[in-house]
Chain A
Amino acid sequence: MQADARGFLLLEDGSVFEGRAVSPGSRFGEVVFNTSMTGYQEVLTDPSYRGQIVVMTMPHVGNYGVRQDVAESDRPWVEGFLARQFTRRPSSHGSEGGLIAYLRRHALPALDDVDTRAIVRRVRRRGALRGVIASEPADRDRLAAELAAYPTMAGRALVDEVTSTEERVIEPDGGAARFHLAVYDFGVKSNILRSLARRGARLTVLPARTPAARVRQLGVDGVVLSNGPGDPEPLTGIIEAVAELAASGLPIFGICLGHQLLGLALGGRTFKLKFGHHGGNQPVKDLASGRVGITSQNHGFAVDPDSLPGDCEVSQINLNDGTVEAFSVRGRPIYSAQYHPEAAPGPHDAESLFDRFLDAVRVAAGGEGPGTAVDVP
């Protein structure tokens, strides 16, 4: 075993966790933990993690390697990555390379041989903390001073750092398009696009600052508001565009940050959760059916249910802490999900949300009602 460089994670409360710097470098971010036991590459490449250092609670990370086609975007966005033990050499028929080589190639600082539970306990107790991950040699005093000046997540508008700069079109998988949807890219995960294209939708993916007029000009059948990083409240301009679209009567589906933006556009407020939900084991209860699904989640902000206008109804809640997971608007084809129906990583329990939305799109376009054939692969 080669002697790796040492490194550490320094938190804003002054605590330091020393470990092995398997991928060198130094980066600042908000420290969050993720409880997914699989799917580390999907986590790394999820643009919603912009500005965050992620601690994986699963001890062994990297076991099955990495591969191109499971990436959720074209690069990793996580600022720093920690686990109890990163696997040196993967073992899987599907592996195209090792995780550590991948992290080094992307100059993404990573630390292992740390007591991840101790970090998680601190984050749970204190709430999400700013931190810096660094490899030796490093000047701790200087880093601590810089960390104090690093912005907190509340108030950070990060969408502009991850959105695409140009419109692009994605054709449906096989056959003619049954719907044309506009997808606002606030940091969209590829599997949202794949899930829609697989169901026969032609997608026009739009940069985050696209005005609502452009959507009308495209003549789409519905709008999807994607996931994305940071605080939704400072996203002025975008919130107004969403409000305009919501008023237009077009079917809208907001996912994660998109759900929060819908809440804001309808007149509600959002707030920062203590340490957020990051992982694939979050139980969500559907209030109408009484059923519970296990969902994939990654968010640090939530919609305040009391702030929503009278025609909005909370339809799903998180079973652990009661936070809003979905709301609907009376008489309007507006759907939201705080969690990730596209999973990747995580359970597929909520995948049918895409079918439900496309049913609504079909109805709004003058087609037949729900229950008509949707090819679910």
Chain B
Amino acid sequence: MSPFLSASDRDILTPESAPVPRRDNIRSILIFGSGPIVIGQACEFDYSGTQACRALRNEGYRVVLVNSNPATIMTDPEVADATYVEPLTPEIAEAIIGQERPDALLPTVGGQTGINLTLALDEAGVLEQWGVELLGAGIEALRRGEDRQLFKEAMEENGLEVPRRGYASGLGEAREIAAGLGYPLIIRPSFTLGGEGGGVVYNREELEERVAVALDASPTRQVLLEQSVLGWKEYELEVMRDRRDNAIVVCSVENFDAMGVHTGDSVTVAPQQTLSDREYQAMRDDAFAVIRRVGVATGGSNIQFAVDPATGRRVVIEMNPRVSRSSALASKATGFPIAKIAALLAVGYTLDEIRNDITGKTYAAFEPSLDYTVVKIPRWAFEKFPDTPPELGTSMKSVGEVMAIGATFREALMKGLASLELDGDVAAREARMADPIKLRQRLAVPNWQRLFALFAALRQGWSVEEVAAASQIDPWFLREIAEIVAVEAEVGCWDLASVPELLLRRARRSGLSVTRLAELLDCPDDQLAAELKRRKIRPVFKRVDTRPVSRP
């Protein structure tokens, strides 16, 4: 009995996770891409899928790839041994399986599309008929991860708290459940991309309207009504597990926007910032219990939690038993290539057998420690979708994102904002937010311009507490923004000739760009740049190295 297996873990080991020998008995592996770029499923799956294909090919496996989107890296000829640019439908997949006779299928690197297609093939009996073995996660695990009712039951069996909820396949049922839960509540259809068809409803009229839409959006015509944890803090842990049941957290992510905004539409921060060690470690324990209970035998999962800011109470929201948008972000944020490692784990390696590419000496069995801060900011394109309401909710609307790395949150946030490539400057955007009633509305109802509204409110003299109460954003983040605003105000009192050096350094370390500083000091950019050079205030470049200065 291993000292690293706690008594509670022993009980939940499922047969699916029993050790298997290293996979020399399979030769060819089928991988599905995620198809066309749509909101909620974009190039991050190309990134992950490509990593997985290369890792498996490198190990000598024959990789058969199916993806309907030829505008991807993964469909480049050298990525897979056989590449089919074909529609991702069960019929076509079956034909390809019949022709290629793959030994196994790795369903977890092609996003939701890959999972849905795998489930469809299983239901049609195709996998069994051709003897295609699932790697990474079996059918039961995929179902438990994706089917919210099964997931909830599994969590409750394991003593993990979930928001109270009910399942409806019709309007009448939905009304009954809603009466029990109270408003507001969340509507989530099963098996959809990026939460399509979901939303928050505040009353019975909205409920009836949204349930009808959600039922149509769900391929199984089922919809989940869930107790609202709106305003709670939202977290994600990127977890990996191997066939020996070793589990690690690659990265923790804290959502800047409270529960109620889809993670894809949230500003997110890594590592998490506002949980204490006790709270974080308890969440880590829960995350391992989730991946074990769902039964993802090997590979990565993304597990989401909500935490009540008033009490610290924690509930499990959902898990993705596959690589995800967040795992792509976590890979880049930590230097830990999740998709590649997931592919290697799927063919029988364990975490302690896989070298860390960055250090060259250590192994993948460790948890990256960050000495920097990562901020992701979504990029929306509402100008291209004039009929889409600009409010953000549980359906994802962003079309891309920027990821910025800085020593501190301030630095990363400001780098991210500068990288959004928005038309027009931030000051002008904020200046249009002078009306206090509209401003409050912009803070209270999540929308794509809320980040600018936060700056505007703080600049207009709102206290952090007032902004926090209106926006439900954790005061820790808002205080950092307030510091940026304060530094800007202080810099604005000086001119280039007289500005104190320490203040200039502080401003640069708070992430203020040369352009923004020059604007505040009322001087041309190049003059400021020359002055910074003269005062030896220089940008520094550091490496993402998986642990602070990682060579052992």
> Interface residues, chain A, CB within 8 Å of chain B?
1, 33, 35-39, 42, 57-60, 63-64, 70, 84-85, 87-94, 113, 115-117, 120-121, 124, 279-286, 288-294, 316, 319-321, 343-353, 355-356, 370, 374, 376
A348 near B542 (CB under 8 angstroms)? no
> Interface residues, chain B, CB within 8 Å of chain A?
1-8, 244-246, 248, 252, 271, 273-281, 284-285, 309-312, 350-352, 361-363, 365-373, 407-409, 474-476, 479, 483, 486-487, 490, 506, 509, 540, 542, 547-549, 551-552
A85 near B274 (CB under 8 angstroms)? no
Compute how far the CA of A350 lies from the CA of B276 in the bound complex, rounded to whole angstroms. 20
Tell me the nearest residue of chain A to B406, going by C-beta.
Answer: A59
A376 near B4 (CB under 8 angstroms)? no
A1-B486, A281-B547, A283-B366 as given contacts; A60 in contact with B373, CB under 8 Å: yes
Choose among B277, B352, B487 the residue that contacts A344 (Cβ–Cβ < 8 A): B277
Choose among B2, B8, B281, B476 the residue that contacts A91 (Cβ–Cβ < 8 A): B476
A117-B542, A343-B281 as given contacts; A291 in contact with B371, CB under 8 Å: no
Distance in Å from the Cβ of B310 to the closest Cβ of chain A?
A: 6
Distance in Å from the Cβ of B542 to the closest Cβ of chain A?
A: 6
Chain A contacts for B273, CB-based, 8 A: 60, 63
The listed residue with most B CB atoms (<10 A of its CB), out of A87, A279, A347, is: A347
B351 near A59 (CB under 8 angstroms)? no
A93 near B312 (CB under 8 angstroms)? yes
Chain B contacts for A283, CB-based, 8 A: 352, 363, 365-366
Compute how far the CA of A259 lies from the CA of B312 in the bound complex, rounded to whole angstroms. 36
Tell me the nearest residue of chain B to A355, going by C-beta.
Answer: B7
Compute how far the CA of A340 lies from the CA of B1 in the bound complex, rounded to whole angstroms. 19
A63-B476, A64-B275, A91-B476 as given contacts; A319 in contact with B363, CB under 8 Å: yes
Choose among A59, A92, A293, A345 the residue that contacts B274 (Cβ–Cβ < 8 A): A92
A376 near B3 (CB under 8 angstroms)? no
Distance in Å from the Cβ of B364 to the closest Cβ of chain A?
A: 9
Compute how far the CA of A285 lies from the CA of B266 in the bound complex, rounded to whole angstroms. 38
Chain A contacts for B367, CB-based, 8 A: 280-281, 294, 347
The listed residue with most B CB atoms (<10 A of its CB), out of A35, A279, A356, is: A35
A117-B542, A286-B4, A352-B5 as given contacts; A292 in contact with B548, CB under 8 Å: no
B274 near A64 (CB under 8 angstroms)? yes
Distance in Å from the Cβ of A145 to the closest Cβ of chain B?
A: 29
Choose among A57, A291, A316 the residue that contacts B245 (Cβ–Cβ < 8 A): A291
Chain A contacts for B547, CB-based, 8 A: 35, 281
A58-B371, A281-B547, A294-B366 as given contacts; A346 in contact with B277, CB under 8 Å: yes
Choose among B252, B275, B548, B552 the residue that contacts A120 (Cβ–Cβ < 8 A): B548
A124 near B549 (CB under 8 angstroms)? yes
Chain A contacts for B474, CB-based, 8 A: 91
A348 near B285 (CB under 8 angstroms)? yes
A60-B409, A124-B549 as given contacts; A349 in contact with B4, CB under 8 Å: yes
Tell me the nearest residue of chain A to B464, going by C-beta.
Answer: A89
Chain B contacts for A70, CB-based, 8 A: 276-278
Compute how far the CA of A92 lies from the CA of B366 in the bound complex, rounded to whole angstroms. 28
B476 near A35 (CB under 8 angstroms)? no
Compute how far the CA of A280 lies from the CA of B249 in the bound complex, rounded to whole angstroms. 12
Chain B contacts for A57, CB-based, 8 A: 369, 371, 548
Choose among A117, A292, A348 the residue that contacts B6 (Cβ–Cβ < 8 A): A348
Compute how far the CA of A352 lies from the CA of B350 in the bound complex, rounded to whole angstroms. 22
Closest 9 CB pairs of A and B: A39-B277, A293-B4, A289-B2, A91-B476, A345-B277, A38-B277, A35-B369, A57-B371, A57-B548
Tell me the nearest residue of chain B to A344, going by C-beta.
Answer: B277
A38-B280, A281-B367, A349-B4 as given contacts; A290 in contact with B244, CB under 8 Å: yes
A283-B363, A291-B244, A319-B365 as given contacts; A33 in contact with B548, CB under 8 Å: yes
Compute how far the CA of A186 lies from the CA of B100 in the bound complex, rounded to whole angstroms. 65
Chain B contacts for A39, CB-based, 8 A: 276-277
A94-B312, A319-B362 as given contacts; A291 in contact with B5, CB under 8 Å: yes
A117-B542, A117-B548, A281-B366 as given contacts; A59 in contact with B352, CB under 8 Å: no
Compute how far the CA of A374 lies from the CA of B7 in the bound complex, rounded to whole angstroms. 9
B368 near A281 (CB under 8 angstroms)? yes
A36 near B277 (CB under 8 angstroms)? yes
Choose among A64, A88, A320 the residue that contacts B479 (Cβ–Cβ < 8 A): A88
B276 near A292 (CB under 8 angstroms)? no
Distance in Å from the Cβ of A72 to the closest Cβ of chain B?
A: 11
A33-B548, A93-B309, A290-B350 as given contacts; A59 in contact with B408, CB under 8 Å: yes
Compute how far the CA of A39 lies from the CA of B281 in the bound complex, rounded to whole angstroms. 10
Distance in Å from the Cβ of B444 to the closest Cβ of chain A?
A: 19
Choose among B6, B276, B277, B373 the residue that contacts A376 (Cβ–Cβ < 8 A): B6
Chain A contacts for B487, CB-based, 8 A: 1
B363 near A59 (CB under 8 angstroms)? no
Distance in Å from the Cβ of A289 to the closest Cβ of chain B?
A: 4
A85 near B408 (CB under 8 angstroms)? yes
Tell me the nearest residue of chain B to A40, going by C-beta.
Answer: B277
B549 near A120 (CB under 8 angstroms)? yes
New A-B pairs, 9, CB < 8 Å, besides A60-B373, A294-B248, A320-B361: A37-B280, A38-B280, A84-B407, A91-B479, A92-B274, A293-B3, A294-B366, A347-B284, A348-B285
Complex A-B: 22 CB contacts under 8 Å: A1-B490, A35-B369, A37-B370, A38-B277, A84-B371, A87-B476, A93-B312, A120-B371, A282-B366, A283-B363, A285-B365, A289-B3, A291-B244, A291-B245, A293-B246, A320-B366, A347-B281, A347-B367, A348-B6, A348-B284, A350-B4, A355-B6
Distance in Å from the Cβ of B113 to the closest Cβ of chain A?
A: 33
A59-B407, A89-B479, A93-B312 as given contacts; A291 in contact with B246, CB under 8 Å: yes
Compute how far the CA of A316 lies from the CA of B2 in the bound complex, rounded to whole angstroms. 11
A63 near B371 (CB under 8 angstroms)? no
Compute how far the CA of A353 lies from the CA of B6 in the bound complex, rounded to whole angstroms. 9
B8 near A376 (CB under 8 angstroms)? yes
A321 near B552 (CB under 8 angstroms)? yes
Chain B contacts for A59, CB-based, 8 A: 371-373, 407-409
Compute how far the CA of A92 lies from the CA of B474 in the bound complex, rounded to whole angstroms. 9
Tell me the nearest residue of chain B to A89, going by C-beta.
Answer: B479
Choose among B309, B369, B509 the residue that contacts A113 (Cβ–Cβ < 8 A): B509
Chain B contacts for A85, CB-based, 8 A: 408
Compute how far the CA of A59 lies from the CA of B405 in the bound complex, rounded to whole angstroms. 12
Compute how far the CA of A1 lies from the CA of B368 in the bound complex, rounded to whole angstroms. 33
Distance in Å from the Cβ of B241 to the closest Cβ of chain A?
A: 11
Chain A contacts for B280, CB-based, 8 A: 37-38
Tell me the nearest residue of chain B to A279, going by C-beta.
Answer: B369
Tell me the nearest residue of chain A to B474, going by C-beta.
Answer: A91
Compute how far the CA of A350 lies from the CA of B5 in the bound complex, rounded to whole angstroms. 8
A60-B373, A117-B549 as given contacts; A291 in contact with B4, CB under 8 Å: yes
Compute how far the CA of A84 lies from the CA of B412 in the bound complex, rounded to whole angstroms. 14
Distance in Å from the Cβ of B198 to the closest Cβ of chain A?
A: 29
A350 near B370 (CB under 8 angstroms)? no
Choose among A33, A120, A286 the residue that contacts B3 (Cβ–Cβ < 8 A): A286
Compute how far the CA of A309 lies from the CA of B483 in the bound complex, rounded to whole angstroms. 59
Distance in Å from the Cβ of A81 to the closest Cβ of chain B?
A: 15
Chain A contacts for B476, CB-based, 8 A: 63, 87, 90-91
Compute how far the CA of A1 lies from the CA of B479 in the bound complex, rounded to whole angstroms. 11
Compute how far the CA of A159 lies from the CA of B87 in the bound complex, rounded to whole angstroms. 70
B363 near A117 (CB under 8 angstroms)? no
Compute how far the CA of A36 lies from the CA of B548 in the bound complex, rounded to whole angstroms. 11
B5 near A37 (CB under 8 angstroms)? no
Compute how far the CA of A351 lies from the CA of B2 in the bound complex, rounded to whole angstroms. 11
A350 near B3 (CB under 8 angstroms)? yes
B352 near A319 (CB under 8 angstroms)? yes
Distance in Å from the Cβ of A59 to the closest Cβ of chain B?
A: 5
Chain B contacts for A343, CB-based, 8 A: 281
Distance in Å from the Cβ of A198 to the closest Cβ of chain B?
A: 13
Distance in Å from the Cβ of B22 to the closest Cβ of chain A?
A: 13
Distance in Å from the Cβ of A285 to the closest Cβ of chain B?
A: 6
